[in-house]
C-alpha cells in the first residue's frame, strides 16, 4: 500500500489531503501524561527507545493520521554536543549558554553518534509497528533555531545575545553554525538509514532573523544540510518549516531545495497556493487555537484551507504544534472530517 504523504511530496494531487499534526504526541494526551509522570525527565523519555516509540505510536492508534513523527526534540543536538540541558517543569528548556569562541571549545562532535543512537533505535522500533501506509517523519531543528537555544540558554523573547554574537564576531559564530550543521547532517542521515521516510526541518525562530542576515543565517545553513544529506541519500524528501517568514517563503522554497513548505497560520492559503503551487507541496496551516476551540468554527476553517490548498499537492497540518490544553476529542473530530473528504 502506498503512503499518501509520499505521493503528496512527489507533487501528486490527491482526492483528500493526507494529514498529521505537529506535536501530535504530547501533553494533551492522557496516555502521554501517564508515561511522563513516571519518567524522571523529558529527555529521559527521548533516549529510551521502548518508551519513545510507544509515545510516537499513541496518536496513531487514536486518530490514524497518515504520518507518525518521531518522538524526540530538536535540542538533543546541543545535548549530544555536550552542552548542559535540562527541561524544567513549567519553564521549558534551560541550557548553560555558549556565547564566545572560548566557550565553543566545550562542544564536541565526537560523542554525538553514541549519544543519539537510542533515538535511531526508536525509529527502528516504530517502523516495526507502524501500519504500512503510514509514513514516519524524522526531524531536526534548523541551525539558526537550535543556535538560539544554545546561545540564549532557553526560549528567548528578543534574541539579544545571539544577535550580538552574530554581528560582533561572525567568524566564531559561523563556527557554531557549522558545528550544528555537521552534527545535524550525520543525525539526519542516521535517521534515514534507520527508516525515516521524510525529514522535517523546524526553523521556529526564522522570523527573528533581520532581513540583511536572512541569507547567511537561514538560507545557507538549510541549503548546506539539504545538499549534504542528498549527496549521501539523494532521494531524501525535506519539509521546511521557516515559521513566520511571510512572503519570503517563495524565496526560501526556491533557494533551499525543500520539497514541501510547512506554512504557519499567518500565511493565507490563497497566497501560498499562488506562490508555491504546483511546483512545491504545501503543508499546513490550521491555527492550533482553532483546534483547541473545536466545533464548527474549527471545521469551517479546515474546510476553507482544504478547498484552497487541495487543488495542488497538499498535506493538512496545523500552523504550529498542538497546545497542551487541546481536548483530544477535537483532534478526533478534525481527523474524521479530513478523512471524509476522500469519500463520495
Ligand atoms: O509530536 C511531535 O511533534 C514530536 C515531538 C517533538 C517535540 N518537540 C516533543 C516535545 C518535536 C518535533 C519537537 C520540536 C521542537 N522542540 C521545536 C520545533 C517545533 C516548535 O514547537 O516550534 C522546538 C522549538 C523545541 C524546543 C522545545 N521542546 C521547547 C521550547 C519545549 C518546552 C515548551 C513546550 O512546548 O513544552 C520543549 C519540550 C517538549 N518537546 C515537549 C514535547 C512533548 C513537552 C515536554 C514535557 O512533556 O514536559
Q: What is the DSSP track for 194-230?
A: HT-SEEEEEETTGGGS-GGGHIIIIIHHHHHHHHHHH
Query: Within 13 A of 308's CA, how many CA atoms are on the CB side?
Result: 20
Mean local confidence (pLDDT), 12-40: 97
* pLDDT exceeds 70 at position 273: yes
Domain that residue 173 falls in: 4-340
Q: Indicate the pLDDT class of residue 327, thresholds 50, 70 and 90.
A: very high
How many whole angstroms separate alpha carbon 153 and alpha carbon 33?
26
C-beta 319 within 6 A of ligand 1: no
Task: Please name the residue whose Cα sits nearest to atom 36 of ligand 1.
Answer: 92
Ligand 1: residue whose CA is nearest its atom 34: 92
pLDDT tier at 344 (50, 70, 90 boundaries)?
low
- pTM confidence score: 0.98
Residues 231-252 have pLDDT tens digits of: 999 999 999 999 999 999 999 9
CA dist., res. 6 & res. 238, Å (int): 11
Q: Which residues of 123-151 are buried (b: 16+ CB within 10 A; e: fewer)?
A: bebbeeebeeebbbbbbbbbbbbbbbbbb
**For ligand 1, is residue 228 a contact (CB within 6 Å)?**
no
Contact by Cβ (8 Å): 148, 208: yes
Query: In terms of Cα–Cα distance, which of 249, 214, 290, 311 is closest to 21?
Result: 290
Average pLDDT over residues 318-324: 98
**CATH at residue 122:** 3.20.20.210
Residue whose C-alpha is closest to residue 149's, from 220, 76, 97, 73: 97
CA of 168 to the centre of ligand 1 (A): 31
Predicted pLDDT of residue 1: 72
> 343 pLDDT band (50/70/90 cuts)?
confident
DSSP code of residue 317: E
What's the chain's average pLDDT? Answer: 97
As a whole number, mean pLDDT of residues 132-157 equals: 98
Under the banding of pLDDT at 50, 70 and 90, the label for residue 123 is very high
> Which residue's CA is the nearest one to ligand 1's atom 25?
74
Ligand 1, atom 7, residue with closest C-alpha: 73
CA-based nearest residue to 338, from 52, 14, 48: 14
Residue spans of alpha helices (H) in 3-111:
4-9, 30-38, 42-46, 49-63, 76-81, 101-104
Q: How many CB atoms lie within 10 A of CB 91?
A: 10
Q: Which ligand 1 atom minimizes the distance to the CA of 155?
A: 30
For 148-171, how does the pLDDT look when each residue is reduced to its tens digit (9 = 90+)? 999 999 999 999 999 999 999 999
Domain count, the chain: 1
C-alpha cell at 250: 517563495
Q: Is 25 in the pocket of ligand 1 (CB under 6 A)?
A: yes
Ligand 1 contact, 316 CB (< 6 A): no
Share above pLDDT 70 across residues of the chain, in percent, rounded to a whole number: 100
Cβ neighbours around 65 below 10 Å, total: 23
Amino acid at each position: 500500500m502506498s503512503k499518501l504523504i509520499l505521493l503528496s511530496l512527489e507533487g501528486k494531487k490527491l482526492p483528500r489531503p493526507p494529514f498529521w499534526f505537529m506535536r501530535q504526541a504530547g501533553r494533551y494526551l492522557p496516555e502521554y501524561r501517564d508515561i511522563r509522570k513516571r519518567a524522571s525527565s523529558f529527555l529521559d523519555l527521548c533516549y529510551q527507545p521502548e518508551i519513545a516509540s510507544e509515545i510516537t505510536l499513541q496518536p496513531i492508534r487514536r486518530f490514524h493520521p497518515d504520518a507518525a513523527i518521531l518522538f524526540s526534540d530538536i535540542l538533543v543536538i546541543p545535548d549530544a554536543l555536550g552542552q548542559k540541558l535540562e527541561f524544567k517543569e513549567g519553564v521549558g528548556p534551560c541550557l548553560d549558554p555558549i556565547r564566545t569562541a572560548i566557550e565553543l571549545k566545550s562542544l564536541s562532535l565526537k560523542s554525538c553518534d553514541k549519544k543519539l543512537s537510542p533515538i535511531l533505535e526508536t525509529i527502528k522500533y516504530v517502523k516495526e509497528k507502524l501500519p504500512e501506509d503510514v509514513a514516519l517523519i524524522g526531524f531536526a531543528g534548523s541551525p539558526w533555531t537550535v543556535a538560539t537555544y544554545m546561545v540564549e540558554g532557553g526560549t528567548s523573547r528578543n534574541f539579544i545575545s545571539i544577535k550580538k554574537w552574530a554581528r560582533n564576531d561572525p567568524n566564531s559564530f559561523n563556527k557554531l553554525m557549522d558545528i550544528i550543521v555537521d552534527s545535524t547532517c550525520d543525525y539526519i542521515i542516521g535517521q534515514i538509514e534507520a527508516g525515516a521516510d521524510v525529514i522535517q526541518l523546524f526553523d521556529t525562530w526564522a522570523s527573528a532573523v533581520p532581513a540583511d542576515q536572512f541569507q547567511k543565517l537561514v538560507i545557507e545553513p538549510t541549503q548546506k544540510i539539504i545538499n549534504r544529506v542528498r549527496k549521501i541519500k539523494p532521494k531524501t524528501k525535506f519539509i521546511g518549516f521557516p515559521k513566520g517568514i511571510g512572503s519570503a517563503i517563495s524565496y526560501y522554497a526556491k533557494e533551499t531545495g525543500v520539497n514541501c513548505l510547512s506554512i504557519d497560520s499567518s500565511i493565507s492559503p490563497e497566497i501560498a497556493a499562488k506562490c508555491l503551487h504546483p511546483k512545491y507541496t504545501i503543508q499546513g496551516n490550521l491555527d492550533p487555537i482553532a483546534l483547541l476551540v473545536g466545533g464548527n468554527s474549527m471545521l469551517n476553517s479546515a474546510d476553507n484551507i482544504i478547498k484552497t490548498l487541495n487543488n495542488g499537492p497538499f498535506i493538512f497540518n496545523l500552523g504550529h504544534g498542538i497546545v497542551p490544553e487541546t481536548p483530544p476529542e477535537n483532534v478526533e473530530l478534525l481527523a474524521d472530517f479530513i478523512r471524509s473528504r476522500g469519500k463520495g
